[in-house]
């Protein structure tokens, strides 16, 4: 009998101890995350949010809300999964002069921002500030450059929220990317994931892109060398800098000889276009004080969602966001109430309709 009693106690206590250990690990990980730096490539994610929903969403006043809806979902997901007290949204501030001097056609192929997206920018910025994020930009720096400058001038672990392949050049043991995933949340792009995706390590990514070019930035590559050939070339012969000045001699007997002949100037120019400008601007010489993230102002977030009629987001906001006068006391005798007919469900918000979503269901 005593043995049976002992076994019963062990059966009860063991799961509790395991549960307690898991809970302790969870809170430890949450505290560790608070020390990480989260850098969000703002326009990359804003454009992605706008095009995530095929059909333009509007509120009852006719104001477009699709980018705001998906971007707010993104901010909620970041806050839930990566609750850091340090970070910022980084914005482009025009095309840097040093890049347009190298290539006057740099990004000249990009269409203008859609008016429906431009209309949403002020409230998107307002929403990001309500979530506690500093909004930073700097003349003659693109967002990628500022991200690189901050990431390389901190001892913290850094997570970069972006799908921009240029930012892969920053990946290290300390710096990783959070790439919004096609179905839910984020995929983590570390050195191993970079190698798997591009077949080169992060330190060769600038050279890889210099060879294949980047159509989205209007940077031409080497004719006849695509992703597979570029990776094979770099893995066989090393970095561009190790052979670019002797390109004709190095590849005289190689299958790459004719393709690379006379292209040393183009490769060097492409390297300078793609390589990030990572020196800190003077006003950010003490970067940490510019990257203090406040706690989300849930009441303001709720007010913005109500104003813009983001109804499906309202139900996902924490209870603390509800003003005191709106809180309803629990009915202690609800069990005795006569059941009523089930209420008619309100029409779904357009942003929730699956057939209208491309990536809007990510968050």
Q: How far is the C-alpha of 16 from the C-alpha of 234, rounded, in Å?
A: 53
Whether 57 contacts 361, CB under 8 Å: no
Instruction: Identify the pLDDT of residue 7.
Output: 58
Number of H helices, E strands in the chain: 15, 6
Q: How far is the C-alpha of 27 from the C-alpha of 7, rounded, in Å?
A: 31
Whether 100 contacts 273, CB under 8 Å: no
Q: How far is the C-alpha of 333 from the C-alpha of 288, rounded, in Å?
A: 53
Instruction: Identify the pLDDT of residue 194.
Output: 98
Among 172, 155, 141, residue whose Cα is nearest residue 42: 141
Burial readout 23-34 (b: 16 or more C-beta within 10 A, e: otherwise): eeeeeeeeeebe
Instruction: Identify the pLDDT of residue 15.
Output: 56
Q: How far is the C-alpha of 117 from the C-alpha of 45, rounded, in Å?
A: 12
Scanning 2-132, the segments in alpha helix (DSSP H) are 2-34, 42-51, 66-81, 97-102, 115-118, 121-130
Q: How far is the C-alpha of 76 from the C-alpha of 187, rounded, in Å?
A: 16
Instruction: Identify the pLDDT of residue 351.
Output: 39
Among 312, 363, 27, residue whose Cα is nearest residue 178: 363
* Phi–psi pair at 177, nearest 5 degrees: -110, 145
Residues 204, 165, 140, 113: what is their CA dihedral angle, to the nearest 10 degrees? 160
List the domains of the chain with CATH numbers.
23-198+277-290 (3.40.50.1010), 203-274 (1.10.150.20)
Per-residue pLDDT in tens (0 to 9) along the chain, 363 residues: 555 555 555 555 555 555 444 444 444 444 555 799 999 999 999 999 999 988 899 999 999 999 999 999 999 999 999 999 999 999 999 899 999 999 999 999 999 999 999 999 999 999 999 999 999 999 999 999 999 999 999 999 999 999 999 999 999 999 999 999 877 789 999 999 999 999 999 999 999 999 999 999 999 999 999 999 999 999 999 999 999 999 999 998 899 999 999 999 999 999 999 999 999 999 999 999 999 999 999 999 999 999 999 999 999 999 876 776 655 444 444 334 433 443 444 444 443 333 333 333 444
Instruction: Identify the pLDDT of residue 319.
Output: 81
Q: How far is the C-alpha of 240 from the C-alpha of 52, rounded, in Å?
A: 37
CA–CA distances in Å: residue 83 to residues 154, 166, 185, 228? 18, 25, 14, 38
Q: How far is the C-alpha of 243 from the C-alpha of 103, rounded, in Å?
A: 23
Considering only the C-alpha atoms of the chain, give the largest distance between any 2 of them, rounded to a whole number of Å: 91
């Amino acid at each position: 009998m005593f043995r049976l009693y002992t076994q019963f106690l062990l059966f009860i206590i063991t799961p509790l101890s395991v549960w307690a250990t898991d809970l302790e690990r969870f809170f430890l990980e949450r505290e560790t995350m608070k020390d990480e730096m989260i850098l969000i490539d703002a326009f990359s994610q804003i454009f992605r949010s706008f095009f995530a929903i095929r059909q333009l969403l509007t509120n009852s006043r006719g104001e477009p809300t699709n980018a705001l809806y998906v971007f707010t979902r993104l901010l909620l997901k970041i806050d839930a999964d990566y609750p850091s007290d340090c970070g910022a949204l980084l914005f482009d501030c025009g095309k840097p002069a040093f890049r347009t001097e190298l290539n006057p056609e740099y990004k000249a192929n990009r269409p203008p921002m859609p008016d429906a997206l431009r209309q949403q920018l002020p409230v998107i910025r307002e929403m990001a500030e309500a979530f506690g994020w500093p909004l930073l930009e700097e003349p003659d720096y693109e967002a990628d450059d500022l991200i690189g400058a901050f990431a390389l001038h901190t001892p913290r672990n850094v997570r970069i929220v972006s799908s921009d392949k240029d930012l892969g050049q920053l990946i290290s043991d300390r710096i990783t990317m959070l790439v919004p995933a096609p179905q839910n949340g984020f995929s983590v792009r570390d050195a191993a994931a970079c190698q798997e995706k591009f077949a080169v390590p992060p330190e060769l990514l600038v050279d890889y892109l210099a060879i294949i070019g980047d159509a989205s930035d209007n940077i031409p590559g080497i004719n006849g060398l695509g992703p597979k050939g570029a990776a094979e070339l770099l893995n066989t012969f090393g970095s561009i800098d190790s052979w670019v000045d002797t390109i004709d001699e190095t590849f005289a007997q190689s299958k790459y000889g004719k393709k690379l002949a006379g292209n040393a100037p183009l490769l060097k120019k492409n390297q300078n276009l793609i390589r990030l400008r990572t020196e800190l601007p003077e006003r950010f010489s003490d970067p940490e004080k510019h990257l203090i993230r406040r706690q989300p102002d849930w009441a303001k977030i709720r007010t913005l969602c109500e104003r813009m009629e983001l109804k499906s987001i309202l139900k996902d906001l924490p209870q603390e966001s509800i003003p005191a006068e709106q809180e309803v006391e629990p009915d202690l005798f609800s069990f005795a109430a006569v059941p009523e007919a089930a209420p008619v469900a309100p029409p779904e918000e357009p942003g929730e309709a699956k057939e209208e979503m491309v990536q809007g269901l990510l968050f």
